[in-house]
Amino acid sequence: MIVCDIFNYHMNIDLKTIKHISKLSRISVDEKKAEKLAGDLNSIFEFIEKLNELKTDNVQPLASVAETTLKLRDDEVKSKNLREQIIKNSPQENEDYFVVPKVIE
């Protein structure tokens, strides 16, 4: 069985890691939720790490099963005057703009 060190090292996802991932994910997490997530993620990663049993050095990664090359099309505008439709579902807008909390002081 081949087990690489990086996995063993990270088998245990601690609260600090959870806070880091939550920051990257832009999902706020309080202490209670962080503890629950750490438990869940540890059991899921324990399950995922079964993949380390396999040697895959010479295997080409599969990104998509659709083995056709992507089609090229002419670069022309097909959708016009969608401004109203695009803005329609916005939680807050001001004429033609999306409105967000102040970014620049």
The candidate with the shortest Cα–Cα distance to 7, out of 53, 59, 40, 38, is: 53
Q: Report the alpha-carbon distance of residue 34 to residue 37 in Å, rounded.
A: 5
Q: Which of 16, 31, 32, 71 binds other proteins (CB under 8 A)?
A: 71
54 neighbors 3 (Cβ within 8 angstroms): no
> Considering the complex, what minimum distance in angstroms separates the CB of residue 34 from other proteins?
10
Query: Please, which residue, 4 or 77, has the CB nearer to other proteins?
Result: 4
Regarding 61 and contact with other proteins (CB under 8 A), the answer is: yes
Residues within the interface to other proteins (CB under 8 A)? 4, 6-7, 10, 13, 17-18, 21-22, 24-29, 37, 40-41, 43-45, 47-54, 56, 59-66, 68, 70-71, 73, 85-86, 88-92, 98, 100-103
